[in-house]
Amino acid sequence: MKHNYPKVTIIGAGNVGATTAYTLMLLGVAREIAIVDSNVQKASGESLDLNHGISFVNPTSIYQADYKDGCQNADVIVITAGAAQKEGETRLDLIKTNTKIFKSIISEIVKYAKKEAILLVVTNPVDVLTYVTYKLSGFPSNQVIGSGTVLDTSRLRFLISQHFQGINAKNIHAYIIGEHGDTEFPVWSNAQIGGVTLEKYLKSCSNKNSKPYKEIETELKSIHEDVKNSAYKIIAAKGSTYYAIALSICSIIKAIVRNEQTIMPVSTFIDDYYGVKDIYLSLPSLVGQNGVEYFLRLDLSPEEQKLFKKSAQTVKKIIEENRQ
Ligand code: NAD
């Protein structure tokens, strides 16, 4: 960033928004956190609660704000406002309600945001709403980002780590790409542990899991299913998900405000990749102070190419239906 006092504005003080503010405060990522919500009382209550813990962390100014005070001079504006998935609902079921909410929110944001601000969309269905934000805001595509499959990728790494006797998840380079939703998939062809492919890793490690790659394909499929169904499982158990998504959001914000140039699978604008274009989907992307610098053009296997196209078709269909 061009200054040392990052300001982050969170639109939506619900479970995800409030937990994001708390996580930002704990990690010392932002110097200023503005919280905006149509429910002013909720945003004020969350700000007050967080402020009462300020003496234990780095100085951070946290306050409830309207769009004007909230968005002015913000480096990153995170949108978590809108309806959340309920038990039995898919992310795509939320589209009508949340597009309507986004129309009012984005018009307010663009009135006050500086032209270099990064807009980070978290509300579901995130790929569709990031595209909506890009179109409504008129901001360059690199400055409009969706949280995408950053969370799903973290879930994948956690599950692979568990599968391989708790190997540090940081040593696992494997990505979930495509839609943040039911058509998402892991790129097994590019997955690596400690710099070697999964296949080589299985051959070279001498633990009880050192089976041939072919034999663990069923296990890998079940890991994929577990990742895909994680949110459903958590929502059924406790109503909503917020801790891991808040950490995912903070890692994206940190990459932006510290200009880290970190590679993460955010939802990014796809100009042309395997024939897929004019859409937001997740691919490993370089994230820094300008938002997404570029995405990595992974070599996908023929099967993975099909899955990516299917994911794109699903999201495109919703965008088209939503236009009417
Ligand atoms: P929540 O119901 O707890 O909070 C939503 C908040 O939005 C509420 O405080 C509400 O007052 C506010 N809001 C509604 N309309 C508004 C408007 N017009 N202007 C300003 N504020 C408004 O929901 P949550 O659990 O915090 O989830 C928020 C969103 O994040 C949902 O869409 C959910 O599906 C999504 N989510 C995404 C991911 C991801 O990986 N992308 C993960 C978890 C949740």
For residue 67, the CA-to-ligand 1 centroid distance in Å is: 17
Helix intervals (H) in the chain: 15-27, 40-51, 67-71, 95-112, 126-137, 150-163, 198-204, 213-238, 243-257, 302-323
**259 contact partners, CB below 8 Å, separation of at least 6:** 1, 288, 289
* Confidence (pLDDT) at 207: 60
pLDDT, position 81: 97
CA angle 61, 65, 66 (to 5 degrees): 155
Q: Is 173 a catalytic residue?
A: no
Which residue, 117, 108, 36, is CA-closest to 70?
36
| Catalytic residue selected from 163, 173, 180, 224 | 180
Domain extent listing, the chain? 7-148
Tell me how far the alpha carbon of residue 13 lies from the centroid of ligand 1, in angstroms. 8
Centroid of ligand 1 to alpha carbon of 83 (angstroms):
5
Closest Cα to atom 31 of ligand 1: 84
Chunked in runs of 10, what are the mean pLDDT values of the chain (324 residues)?
83 98 97 98 98 97 98 98 83 86 97 98 96 97 98 96 88 96 95 88 65 77 94 93 98 98 98 96 98 97 97 95 77
> What's the pLDDT at 205?
66
The structural architecture, per CATH, of the domain 7-148 is: 3-Layer(aba) Sandwich (3.40)
Q: What is the pLDDT of residues 130-178, one digit of tens each?
A: 999 999 999 999 999 999 999 999 999 999 998 887 889 999 999 999 9
Q: Is the CB of 181 under 6 A from ligand 1?
A: no
